[in-house]
Amino acid sequence: MEPHNRKKLLLLARKVLEQELLGINGKLEDYNIKPFQQKNGVFVTLLKQGNLRGCIGRIESDLPLYENVIDLSKAAAFNDHRFEKLTAGELEEIMIEISILSVPKAVEGISSFEKIMKIKPQKDGVVLSADGRKATFLPQVWDSIPIREDFISDLCRKAGLSRDYWKRNPINLSTYQVEFFKEGKEI
């Protein structure tokens, strides 16, 4: 995505939060432009002092990108069950990050371990599904969980499974890559 469009998407997410928290009209319909009509999966992440403050996304979507950014900015701020709802007082401290996903591809393999060894740390986002449950980690999570086995164990836990579920049971894995960008960085 062109750098100026990255900045526009970040501005859209910021305007959504300002509109919700401060009542400032952001003219969100102005973002219904051709570059934002693509229908990729996307995640909006909110960081406060470098720490996660909210993150919600869609792995795949039939909605245009700009609509996803609007919906997911609100969801990350107000509907991430891990956090209290974002307040107007916090808004100045929030840094927004947007991740645009490629289409996930299934990882083939006979065993869970064989599948895990095909994942590329630092590059791949991973979707794990097993026993009717599903969870994902963006590639950025590799920064805090750099070991494959730990990454998958934490992903199992996120899906509501035991950390060592993958060691005794079959799992399905898919990988995707992201184009991510955030406020305050040269884009």
What residue ranges define each of the domains in the chain, with the CATH number in brackets?
3-101 (3.30.700.20), 105-176 (3.30.1490.150)
Torsion of CA 21, 10, 123, 42, to 10 degrees: 70
Confidence of residue 185 (pLDDT cuts 50, 70, 90): low
**187 pLDDT above the threshold of 80:** no
- What is the C-alpha to C-alpha distance for residues 152 and 126, in angstroms, rounded to an integer? 9
Tokens describing residue 170: 């079959």
pLDDT attached to residue 184: 83
- What is the C-alpha to C-alpha distance for residues 129 and 143, in angstroms, rounded to an integer? 22
pLDDT attached to residue 98: 97
pLDDT attached to residue 29: 78
Tokens describing residue 5: 């469009």
The C-alpha angle 53, 97, 105, rounded to 5 degrees, equals: 105
pTM: 0.89
Is 87 buried (19+), middle (13-18) or exposed (0-12) by CB count in 10 A?
A: exposed
pLDDT attached to residue 83: 96
- 172-176 and 94-101 beta bridge pairing: unpaired
pLDDT attached to residue 186: 54
Residue for token digits 């995505």? 1
Residues 39, 52 contacting (CB under 8 angstroms):
no
- What is the C-alpha to C-alpha distance for residues 166 and 172, in angstroms, rounded to an integer? 10
The arithmetic mean of pLDDT across residues 58-68, rounded, is 94
Residues 68, 9 contacting (CB under 8 angstroms):
no
**68 pLDDT above the threshold of 90:** yes
103-141 pLDDT per residue, tens: 999 999 999 999 999 999 999 999 999 999 999 999 999
pLDDT attached to residue 32: 81
- What is the C-alpha to C-alpha distance for residues 185 and 63, in angstroms, rounded to an integer? 27
The arithmetic mean of pLDDT across residues 47-75, rounded, is 95
The arithmetic mean of pLDDT across residues 141-158, rounded, is 96
**26 pLDDT above the threshold of 80:** no
- Helix or strand or coil: residue 99? strand
